[in-house]
Amino acid sequence: MTYYAQFQGYLLPSLINDRITLATLVVGQFLAIILSFSPFTQGDPWLRLGLISLFIHVVALISLFLLSIIKPLIKKNTLTPQVLIILLVINGVTSLATVLLVQLALLELSAFNDVLGKNLLIATILALLFVQFSVMHQEHNQAKSAFDRAELDALQARIRPHFLFNSLNTAAELVHHDAKEAEKTILALAALARAAMQAGKSVTLAHEIKLAQQYLQIEQWRLGNRLALEWQMPPEIPELQLPSLTIQPLLENAVNHGIEPLSTTGVIRVEMHITSQSVTIMIINPIAKDAHCVRENNGVAVANIQKRLSLAFADKASLTIHKRPEQYRVKLVLPLGE
């Protein structure tokens, strides 16, 4: 009882889907075979198999269909009412299917009460097993979610912009030349430092883009004419949540490994493309002709972001890199509707 008393959740969050339907049909057929070829039954087992299979599959599919319809009603209740509703639906469909057998003259009327009692007993046992599986399924998902959140927090805590201390020198120099620009730099640094401390937090895409723009503005003050920017943004940023500091480290890599080694002006281009299913962000930066392979901390940052995206979006988000002789391109794809 304590085991179920501690359960807090919804028994049918994702159980009504193609995989569950297929699993239900397989388990139902397995049960039909057991009942048909039981040594305690009489008559032709193959004839019984066809009738029992039809009965079980009809009951199972109609029950799943009804449960999918009343999911909002089930979700509003605690565990005990949820179990009672599931039992009521499955037993109710079983009773109606048994009555239908009598109406179709597939079952003798004299045996109706006996068969109905056996059918309801089997249906009740299977419904309770279904509930037990649902509880275990939910607890597994909750435990996995807690583990993923802890791992995401640990990964997020490792994202600390390396430019913060260097940018303080930029702000110090601006104080003597342009107090207003120095104030803007310090405010931007404060926003980035605050984001760096938001381990495991999710932010909107618009917030993340603004943070990226603040970062590049600081780097423009530091690098001067050596850094040029091209932004290709849509009029409106989609409503989308993603882990904090997902885009900024990619831009930091573009500055450190793409712009700083150049002896001339380098251009960082940031593009955003939107479809009905996803948002794609492209970050393109030049590569110096005499530049060596990407430094190790660049790969570590990319691997970190890939892992955080995997935890946040499963396999629905992706981060890919395309390296050409004179160009480095990062493609970030985020799913919409999550």
Residue 266, judged by CB atoms within 10 A of its CB (0-12, 13-18, 19+), counts as: buried
Q: How far apart, in whole angstroms, are the C-alpha atoms of residue 184 and residue 170? A: 11
Pick left, alpha or beta for residue 3 (phi over 0 → left; psi -120 to 50 → alpha; otherwise beta): alpha
Q: How far apart, in whole angstroms, are the C-alpha atoms of residue 162 and residue 153? A: 19
Neighbours of 191 (CB within 10 A): 15
Neighbours of 98 (CB within 10 A): 22
Q: What is the pTM of this model?
A: 0.55
Q: Residue-wise pLDDT tens for the chain (338 aa)?
A: 444 444 445 555 545 566 667 777 787 788 778 877 877 666 777 877 888 888 888 888 888 888 888 877 777 777 778 778 888 888 888 888 888 877 775 656 666 777 788 888 888 888 787 777 777 766 666 556 555 555 555 545 444 555 566 566 666 666 666 677 777 777 777 776 676 666 557 889 998 998 889 889 888 888 888 999 999 999 999 999 988 888 988 998 899 889 988 888 999 999 999 998 999 999 999 987 765 544 444 556 787 788 878 878 877 899 999 988 889 999 999 998 65
Q: How far apart, in whole angstroms, are the C-alpha atoms of residue 201 and residue 313? A: 14
Q: How far apart, in whole angstroms, are the C-alpha atoms of residue 255 and residue 220? A: 10
Q: How far apart, in whole angstroms, are the C-alpha atoms of residue 27 and residue 43? A: 24
Those residues whose C-beta lies under 8 Å from the C-beta of residue 19, and which sit 6 or more positions away, are none
Which two structure tokens, joined as six digits, stand for 100?
């239908």
